[in-house]
């Protein structure tokens, strides 16, 4: 038995891109519901969900996490310890890089909430008919 989910969202804008009506959605959009139907309050399919817009693309999240991990590795080197006011500034910087990496991962995981797009059902219907 398949597990189905639904998310509440709002069509916040309708515009045309390259001759295709595009519906901008404010709601939960992620890879799992891409290709799924966009349904109105009457139960009619009005579009097909295509993608989410988070401000950062997948590759940017990966580059950010990799840079933070590289910083942590660079700061891990041995050598003399320096304490300033009883604090090791290198270890403090390393701890902040670790925390920032976790924040970046959490942002990536929750980036599905926001703005997404769907192609109008009219476009899909016309493309199938052609």
Domain that holds residue 66: 58-109
Q: Residue 10: exposed, middle, or buried by beta-carbon count in 10 A (0-12, 13-18, 19+)?
A: exposed
Residue at 92 is within a domain: yes
**Of residues 78, 104, 105, the one with CA closest to residue 91:** 78
Q: Are residues 91 and 104 in the same domain?
A: yes
Q: Are residues 66 and 98 in the same domain?
A: yes
Q: Are residues 71 and 100 in the same domain?
A: yes
- Are the C-beta atoms of residues 75 and 93 closer than 8 Å to each other? yes
Q: pLDDT tens across 93-123, in order?
A: 888 888 888 888 877 766 655 577 787 888 6
In the chain, the number of structural domains is 2
| Distance separating the N- and C-terminal Cα atoms of the chain | 34
Q: Are residues 102 and 66 in the same domain?
A: yes
How far apart CA 102 and CA 11 sit, in angstroms, is 32
How far apart CA 21 and CA 126 sit, in angstroms, is 12
Q: Are residues 62 and 92 in the same domain?
A: yes
Q: Are residues 38 and 69 in the same domain?
A: no
Q: Are residues 105 and 116 in the same domain?
A: no
Whole-prediction pTM: 0.50
Would you state the structure tokens that stand for residue 29, as one six-digit string?
Answer: 């959009």
Is residue 127 over pLDDT 80? no
Provide the pLDDT confidence category of residue 9 given band limits of 50, 70 and 90.
confident
Residue at 5 is within a domain: no
């Amino acid at each position: 038995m398949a597990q189905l989910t639904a998310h509440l969202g709002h069509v916040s804008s309708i515009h045309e891109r390259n001759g295709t009506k595009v519906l901008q959605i404010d709601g939960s959009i992620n890879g799992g519901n891409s290709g799924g139907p966009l349904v109105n309050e009457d139960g009619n399919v009005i579009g097909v969900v295509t993608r989410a817009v988070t401000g950062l693309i997948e590759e940017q999240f990966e580059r950010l996490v990799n840079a933070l991990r590289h910083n942590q590795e660079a700061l891990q080197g041995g050598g003399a310890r320096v304490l300033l006011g009883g604090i090791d500034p290198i270890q403090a910087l390393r701890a902040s890089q670790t925390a920032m990496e976790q924040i970046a991962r959490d942002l990536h995981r929750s980036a599905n909430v926001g703005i997404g797009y769907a192609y109008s059902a009219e476009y899909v219907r016309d493309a199938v008919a052609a």
